[in-house]
Amino acid sequence: MSASVLYDVPGPRARRRNLLYSVVGGAALLGLLVFVVMRLYSQGQFESYMWDLFEYNGIRQRLLDGLVSTLLAFSMAAVLSLVLGALLAAGRLSDHRPVRWVCTAVVEFFRAMPLLIMIFALYLSVFTGTPLWALVIGLTLYNGSVQAEVIRAGINSVPKGQAEAAYALGMRKTQVMLTVLVPQAVRAMLPTIISQLVVTLKDTSLGYVITYEELLYAGGVIMRNTVTEGGNPYVPVVIVVGTVYVLMCLALSYLATWIEKRGRRSRKGTPPAAPDASAPTPGAVPPQMAPEAALEAPRKS
């Protein structure tokens, strides 16, 4: 909190006030937590009979199978959506107008459609007996369109001079794209691509609606079919399944942030840029640094 847009560095009085707020806020949050836990406890959600179901091999196996199905759908959708995204991005960057139009229309349409509506329609029309394929194709069409936009933005973010220089050396269109633009663009777009993959992973849970037996569906079946002394074990199952989902998504998100941090490291020993140094901040750059910053600028744009 050394230099925040909102607050000055706190003096003794502000520090005392912040301490007061911390104590009050902390107490309120603690109270909320205690309320939730007490409520769950008084409803008997922590009794052993509510959690006994996880002792059974059948239920463990069912959850594990669900997890495997989720990962299967995710990996298929991830690969296919990246392929589709690359194709659509290439189409949108094409020199031929009709190709560009068709790809733009496809991308805009599938990005605007709710995934659930698409998956359901695919399930009823084409993949009647195979919910896996309905889910995978639906995810591919939607996420592929989004990835296409990410890839296109990445390629457009490479400085124009790069392509011009490559053409001047006599390279062909494909060569320019594959050997000059794409390798540089990947650096910039990898974090965004991975965060979209997190979305893909989360959306595999839509398989619940079309009865694809993924993790959430397995959890739902267990919830409804098990009856304990305290009623259906909604809370235990939600806690277990939710933890698995959150951990999987967090792992992917951390991968994205890690790659982003790595990418921000300097290439040739020049001092690493501050996170927001690319935005022109008047006053942040000392005047004698200005000419050097101006030299840096074209490479970044």
Partner 1 sequence: MNVLLDHFSLFRDGFLGTLSLTAVSAVIALVLGALVAACRVSPVPPLRAFGTMWVTLLRNTPLTLLFLVAIFVVPQVFFPGLSYYTLSVWALGCYTSAFVCEALRSGINTVPVGQAEAARSLGMTFGQTLRLIVLPQAGRTVVPPMSSILIALTKNTSLAGAFNVFELFGAQKTLSELGYSIVVIFGWIALAYLIITLTLSGLFRLLENRLAVAR
Residue numbers at the binding site for partner 1 (CB under 8 A): 1, 3-8, 10, 14, 18, 21-22, 25-26, 29, 39-40, 43, 45, 109, 112-118, 120-121, 124-125, 198, 202-206, 208-209, 216, 219-220, 223, 231-232, 234-235, 238, 241-242, 245-246, 249-250, 253, 276, 279, 281-284
- Comparing CB distances to partner 1, the nearer of 99 and 153 is 153
Nearest-angstrom CA–CA distance, 249 and 204: 12
Nearest-angstrom CA–CA distance, 86 and 178: 12
Smallest gap from residue 264 Cβ to partner 1 (A): 16
Q: Which two tokens stand for residue 58?
A: 């059948």
Yes or no: say if 188 and 146 are a contact pair by the CB < 8 Å rule.
no
Yes or no: say if 170 and 246 are a contact pair by the CB < 8 Å rule.
no
| Residue tagged 């006599």 (tokens) | 170
Smallest gap from residue 6 Cβ to partner 1 (A): 6
- Comparing CB distances to partner 1, the nearer of 198 and 259 is 198
Residue 231 forms beta bridges with which residues?
Answer: 228
- Comparing CB distances to partner 1, the nearer of 182 and 206 is 206
Smallest gap from residue 144 Cβ to partner 1 (A): 16
- Comparing CB distances to partner 1, the nearer of 117 and 169 is 117
Smallest gap from residue 293 Cβ to partner 1 (A): 15
Smallest gap from residue 229 Cβ to partner 1 (A): 14
Nearest-angstrom CA–CA distance, 10 and 209: 52
- Comparing CB distances to partner 1, the nearer of 83 and 284 is 284
Which residue type sits at 191?
Answer: P
Q: What is the DSSP string of 138-189?
A: HHHHHHHHHHHHHHHHHHHTS-HHHHHHHHHTT--HHHIIIIIIHHHHHHHH
Smallest gap from residue 30 Cβ to partner 1 (A): 9
Nearest-angstrom CA–CA distance, 193 and 200: 10
> What's the chain's Rg over C-alpha atoms?
26
Yes or no: say if 207 and 217 are a contact pair by the CB < 8 Å rule.
yes
- Comparing CB distances to partner 1, the nearer of 8 and 229 is 8
